[in-house]
């Protein structure tokens, strides 16, 4: 079902959403099952998106983006995820990488990386998580020590989406161990930097095309690849994650809407006891709850996106949107599978893929527990 758009979108926004929806339906959706089945990285899908300028959708025109509003960006991510969750996850990981440079970097660094990333010439990855530091990234061990020409970066990051495919990686490391999170700085590491080694892709439950890797670093990094000032890395990462959480919420909406749409189609055609399944009140109530949960998640997501578009602080709204949308989407997809009965459990139908793809949404970019901590902190100031 085509989703109504929020008010206040420009003509450029509407045109971009329309174009992305068309590509999602015609190119991404038909390839989604095979991408999952073969666990193959969606390189061709990202290239198709790049052809529309979509790899820079999060960037302003000055740096090669189309100048979309945050609401339009959310609607585009929703459409892409509704067609193929793995493609949306790889794309939004690229957005995290470029957001870090946009938010934390200076103009020379932006000029070096952002236009190429916006055009799809290069792909980015965002490396914050470490084996011992996920929910609390301030516990990181990855270190960057000053050398004559820059920094010696050493340490391990893991679960890094796009890691081995990326042309550049934004990496967070400690430059001042005594300053706790204020001693974390961010860097851009180029793909061919000696001492950067990627492991094999992790075997994941869902988003199988959205490959994640362990990356180890023992690298010399030029000083001009530092993003912003020393010690500003943690603040940059948190701002990037505010954006990322609205994108995760949008992915949840897209995948859950696809599951609801499938359920609506199924209950019209499936006959049980001489009538269509959709004529049973028990099923109707399930559908009503699913649509209501989804609409509530969409409004929270649009609220966070609108505040982002207005340049307001939106950490609280981003956490609420991510928390609610990821939990609601999981329930919606599970009910959609239930409505399909045994057919929903088979791999001939997309329901089990939607359920698997959605599971990570409650974990990455801050788990549900971490979102609740953030929301409670805002309440208790
Ligand atoms: C498919 C995938 C893609 C990813 N992509 C990226 C990426 O591109 N870049 C990147 O940097 N990272 C990425 N990650 C990492 C992801 O962000 C982390 O897995 C996530 O932040 C959780 O960290 P953790 O796995 O170390 O879990 P832990 O931090 O060990 O958490 C374990 C459990 O404890 C709970 N918990 C933690 N702290 C608290 C608390 N204070 N109160 C209550 N409960 C708590 C958590 O909610 C969770 O349920 C990815 C992960 C996956 C699986």
DSSP 132: T
294-298 average pLDDT score: 98
The owner of tokens 């450029």 is 12
Give the pLDDT score at 5. Answer: 87
| pLDDT, tens only, 9-33 | 999 999 999 999 999 999 999 999 9
pLDDT in tens, 322-350: 999 999 999 999 999 999 999 999 999 99
What residues pair up with 143 in beta bridges, in sequence order? 154, 174
| The pLDDT of residue 370 is above 90 | yes
> How far apart are the CA of 308 and the centre of ligand 1, in A?
24
pLDDT digits (tens, 9 = 90+) for 70-124: 999 999 999 999 999 999 999 999 999 999 999 999 999 999 999 999 999 999 9
Q: Is the CB of 198 under 6 A from ligand 1?
A: no
Ligand 1 near 139 CB (within 6 A): no
Q: Which residues have C-beta within 8 Å of that of residue 377, sequence separation ≥ 6?
A: none
Average pLDDT value over all residues in the chain: 97
Report the alpha-carbon distance of residue 296 to residue 323 in Å, rounded: 12
Q: What count of other Cβ atoms lies within 10 Å of the Cβ of residue 227?
A: 25
pLDDT of residue 138 exceeding 90: yes
Evaluate whether 143 touches 252 at the Cβ level (below 8 Å): no
| Interacting residues of 29 by C-beta distance below 8 A, sequence separation 6+ | 82, 83, 84
Q: Among 89, 134, 213, 368, which is best to mutate for testing ligand 1, by the most ligand atoms less than 8 A from CB?
A: 134
What integer pLDDT is reported at residue 364 of this predicted model?
A: 98
Ligand 1 contact, 107 CB (< 6 A)? no
Over residues 342-370, mean pLDDT: 98
Give the tens place of pLDDT for each residue, 174-228. Answer: 999 999 999 999 999 999 999 999 999 999 999 999 999 999 999 999 999 999 9
Which domains occur in the chain, in start order?
11-119 (1.10.540.10), 124-234 (2.40.110.10), 238-379 (1.20.140.10)
**Cα 73–Cα 6–Cα 379 angle in degrees, nearest 5:** 80
Using an 8 Å Cβ cutoff, are 308 and 243 in contact?
yes
Contact (Cβ atoms closer than 8 angstroms) between residue 276 and residue 269: yes
As beta bridge partners, residue 126 has: 170
Structure tokens at 9: 């979108």
Give the SS3 label for residue 203: coil
Q: What percentage of the chain exceeds 70 in pLDDT?
A: 100
- 327 an active-site residue? no
pLDDT score of 3: 75
Residues making up the chain, counted from first to last: 381
Is residue 128 lining ligand 1, measured as CB closer than 6 Å?
yes
pLDDT value, residue 340: 98
Distance CA 226, CA 230 (A): 8
Ligand 1 centroid to Cα of residue 369, in Å, is: 10
Q: CA of 28: how far to CAs of 49, 79, 212, 352, in Å?
A: 9, 10, 20, 18
Average pLDDT of span 269-289: 98
Q: Which of 37, 130, 365, 369 is catalytic?
A: 365
Question: What six digits make up the tokens of 353?
Answer: 């893929």
Residue 83: predicted pLDDT? 98
For ligand 1, what atom is nearest to the CA of residue 125? 8
Spatial separation of the C-alpha atoms in residues 56 and 61, rounded to whole Å: 9
């Amino acid at each position: 079902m085509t989703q109504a758009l929020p008010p206040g979108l420009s003509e450029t926004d509407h045109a971009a959403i329309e174009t992305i929806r068309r590509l999602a339906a015609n190119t991404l959706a038909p390839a989604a099952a095979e991408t999952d089945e073969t666990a193959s990285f969606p390189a061709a899908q990202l290239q198709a998106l790049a052809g529309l300028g979509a790899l820079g959708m999060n960037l302003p025109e000055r740096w090669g983006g189309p100048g979309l509003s945050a609401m339009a960006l959310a609607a585009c991510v929703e459409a892409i995820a509704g067609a193929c969750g793995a493609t949306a996850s790889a794309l939004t990981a690229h957005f995290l990488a470029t957001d870090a440079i946009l938010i934390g970097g200076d103009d020379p660094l932006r000029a070096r990386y952002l236009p190429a990333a916006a055009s799809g010439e290069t792909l980015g990855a965002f490396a914050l998580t470490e084996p011992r530091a996920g929910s609390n990234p301030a516990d990181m061990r990855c270190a960057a020590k000053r050398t004559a020409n820059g920094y010696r970066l050493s340490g391990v990051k893991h679960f890094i989406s796009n890691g081995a495919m990326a042309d550049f990686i934004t990496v967070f490391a400690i430059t001042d161990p005594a300053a706790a999170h204020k001693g974390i700085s961010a860097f851009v590491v180029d793909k061919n930097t000696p001492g950067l080694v990627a492991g094999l892709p992790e075997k994941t439950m869902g988003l199988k095309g959205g490959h994640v890797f362990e990356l180890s670093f023992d690298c010399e990094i030029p000083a001009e690849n530092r993003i912003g000032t020393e010690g500003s890395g943690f603040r940059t990462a948190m701002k990037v994650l505010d954006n990322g959480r609205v994108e995760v919420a949008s992915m949840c909406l897209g995948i859950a809407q696809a599951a609801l749409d499938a359920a609506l189609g199924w209950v019209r055609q499936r006959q049980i006891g001489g009538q269509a399944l959709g004529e049973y009140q028990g099923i109707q109530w399930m559908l009503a709850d699913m649509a209501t949960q989804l609409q509530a998640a969409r409004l929270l997501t649009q609220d966070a996106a609108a505040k982002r578009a207005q340049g307001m602080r939106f950490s609280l709204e981003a956490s609420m949107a991510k928390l609610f949308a990821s939990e609601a989407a999981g329930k919606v997809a599970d009910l959609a599978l239930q409505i399909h009965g045994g057919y929903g459990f088979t791999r001939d139908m997309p329901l089990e893929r939607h359920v698997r793809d959605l599971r990570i949404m409650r974990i990455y970019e801050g788990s549900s527990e971490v979102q609740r901590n953030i929301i409670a902190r805002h309440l208790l100031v």
